Structure 1
């Protein structure tokens, strides 16, 4: 945890020492809070009618690249759900374009890179000097931060989350050309090209650190780093080929004066190594009991999670019981942020999402 992070929180102090800074940021830093803060991965998405109304007139990339619309989508979701933090609406792959790598979203296929990066020459050609082209995300954050500047009815400020992809996850998209099941091409480069892989990691860290800096300057209180596909790696591979670059990215973002949340999917075996990145908060997916995951990353580190997002389709009694179970695993210790173990999926009943937020506020109060 950086001293700059503590200084930044200290500037938001109120008369009550137990509520200095926003509840969400305090939890990220492992400080006591009056209740467990809650926000949800992909809380602005295709399950929400308001978002789908916007999508009828705009593509995903249009929304991401238009600050007014990205801010509107972000704000609408946070206010509709009543969460403690708003995560800016953007996409992990946005940095590809200024790096010289074009991509698009195809219906039923997701993101597609038509000219995957698979040689040292292609890696060397990737640009790192055009990060300013991503300023539209910062402009959206400025709008969100201005909207939520005043404390809410409970006296707490809403947290603003910026984000970026992790080096491995973005590299895998670049190399595979899209989503993958086995990551064959990615691992081939990782194992066999001692020039291309380190250079790709270095370039991604440079661009992502610059992108994060724009978001922090615009008003982001926290940066979440998504390593969505890190679960495809064994522990030895993660430690040798991924951990050094990820640790460096975390270090650079923390140097901006904000906490870092580091999240991956299906990463139970990697949790102790992920903690070595130095991230302030480690996101846990639903496959590991929260108490067990917390023990794996170290009791002094904050954690985020970890309700199974598909539980949101369940009946009220089951859903309420699972919320209580997650909170019971956390046992009121400082440093827990309630969230899902991955993103809300299309078709999820909105009323169930709202109920979860309300239950966390009700059951997550600390003595």
Structure 2
């Protein structure tokens, strides 16, 4: 186990009792915490203004710019968390992979990785050799952000190994990821080697964010919904577990009263209080993964994110009613009349009571044409309830 630095927001106590962190730890909150995937980005006019003339991956690697973009929706909407502004392919870029974000298309690789020889060449880059110097822009951006967030927690963000591997094998976006799934079965050894490499790379990226000050970690598997349960369990889950092992060992202590241990007790009571060791909460989310929820939890997650295709009470049933949930407002509802959206959110909140704790979010990301005022109103509605 690795104890977080005394200045870390969780250990220093600024975020350890926040609605979000405690909900992630399975403690139901009187006010349901809420944040939105892709809350920072194209739906905000201030983001579009800031991004003029800057390519996506360049923005992610500019610490001041990435921090400001992360903070924009927190200021505007009053959400209960910031989600670190980045992209799942950033660790690939930092490792020297030729990758870019093509507007209107998504991540595109300079060369696809489709054979055992391709995998061997790629994996010559050892993720363990990528230290703080490599992740310096990420570390600085996180530190700049948490200095502004104060008691609002920051969530670290990384893509799951399968999603990264799928992009690498396909060479870019794909509807069915058939080349990736073919490699999985045609050359299991090469596939396992590729998955272990992406796991260690994305795991190191996520760990850097948490050590720098993020109060939770979310692993995002965009394309896991393309897999059968059997393929996921055998060929993907071990790598996801490996990725999460990079943050699973990060812990901090809190006193019996719930105050983070700083190493310097303020009173005799605190000195004698029972101390509880907690891990940094981990969220695992995938798109179209209703049939994989239990397996996704078992890789080492504390919280399971649920997309809009399955009701939260059914998701909770599949998880044995013991796992905190995040989700799952249908993004399409954000452009519906307010009365329709309000009824939908009320239903989501009601179904979320079936789980030990619930963090309201979308069942995917904020659509770019969303009116920001709707998101602000939605946060106010949830908090007032």
TM normalised by structure 1 equals 0.90
Describe how 1:302-313 pairs up with structure 2 within 5 A. 302-313=324-335
User: Of 169, 174, 177, which aligns to 1:175?
Assistant: 169
Task: Specify the alignment match of 2:48 in structure 1.
Answer: 52
**1:3–1:328 CA distance, 2 compared to 1 (3 A):** farther
**Alpha-carbon offset, residue 12 of structure 1:** 5.4
Per-residue CA deviation, residues 250-275 of structure 1 (Å, 9 max, x unaligned), is 23312123111100001111112112
State the Cα deviation string for residues 299-353 of structure 1 (Å, max 9, x = none): 2211100000110001010011111111111128542100000000111111111
Q: Does 1:125 align with 2:126?
A: no
- Retained in 2: the 8 A contact 1:163–1:226? yes
Is the Cα–Cα contact under 8 Å of residues 190 and 241 in structure 1 kept in the other structure? yes
Contact 1:323–1:359 (CA<8 Å) still a contact in 2? no
Rounded to whole Å, the distance in 1 between the matches of 2:355 and 2:166 is: 36
2:38 maps to 42
**1:118 shift after superposition:** 0.9
Match of 1:348 in 2: 370
Separation in 2, partners of 1:34, 1:10: 21
Equivalent-residue separation in structure 2 for 1:37 and 1:43 (angstroms):
14
CA RMSD across the alignment:
2.1
Change (3 A) 1:12 1:320: farther
Alignment of 1:106-185 (within 5 A): 106-126=102-122, 127=125, 128=127, 129-130=129-130, 132-149=133-150, 157-185=151-179
Is the counterpart of residue 273 in structure 1 residue 295 in structure 2?
yes
Distance 1:11 1:45 in 2: 30
The normalised TM-score by structure 2 is 0.86
| Cα deviation code 1:135-188 (max 9, x no counterpart) | 211211101101122xxxxxxx21111111101000000110111011111011
Alignment equivalent of 2:359, drawn from 329, 333, 337: 337
Residue 294 of structure 1 corresponds to 316
* Structure 2 CA distance for partners of 1:136 and 1:306, relative to 1, 3 Å: same
Shift of 1:4: 6.6
Is the 1:243–1:277 Cα contact (8 Å) retained in structure 2? Answer: yes
Conserved in 1, the CA contact under 8 Å of 2:200 and 2:242? no
Instruction: Tell me if the contact between 1:205 and 1:248 (Cα under 8 Å) persists in the aligned partners.
Output: yes
Counterpart of 2:380 in structure 1 is 358
What is the 5 A alignment of 1:69-80? Answer: 69-80=65-76
Offset of residue 294 of structure 1: 1.5
Provide structure 2 residue ranges, at least 5 long, that are not aligned to the other structure. Answer: 252-279
The CA deviation string for residues 264-287 of structure 1, in whole angstroms up to 9 with x for no partner, is 001111112112112001000011
Q: Distance in 2 between matches of 1:32 and 1:20?
A: 14
Matched, 1:196 2:190: yes
Q: In the alignment, is the contact (CA less than 8 A) between 1:12 and 1:21 conserved in 2?
A: no
Greater displacement, 63-72 / 23-32:
23-32
The unaligned stretches of length 5 or more in structure 1 are 150-156
- What secondary structure does 1:46 align onto? coil
Q: Secondary structure at 1:168's aligned position in 2?
A: helix
> Which piece of structure 1 moves more, 339-348 or 272-281?
272-281
In 2, Cα distance between equivalents of 1:138 and 1:321: 41
Provide the aligned length of Structure 1 versus Structure 2.
Answer: 350
Corresponding residue number in structure 2 for 1:84? 80
Residue of structure 2 in register with 1:153 after alignment: none
Deviation at 1:85, TM superposition (A): 0.2
Distance 1:115 1:32, change over 3 A: same
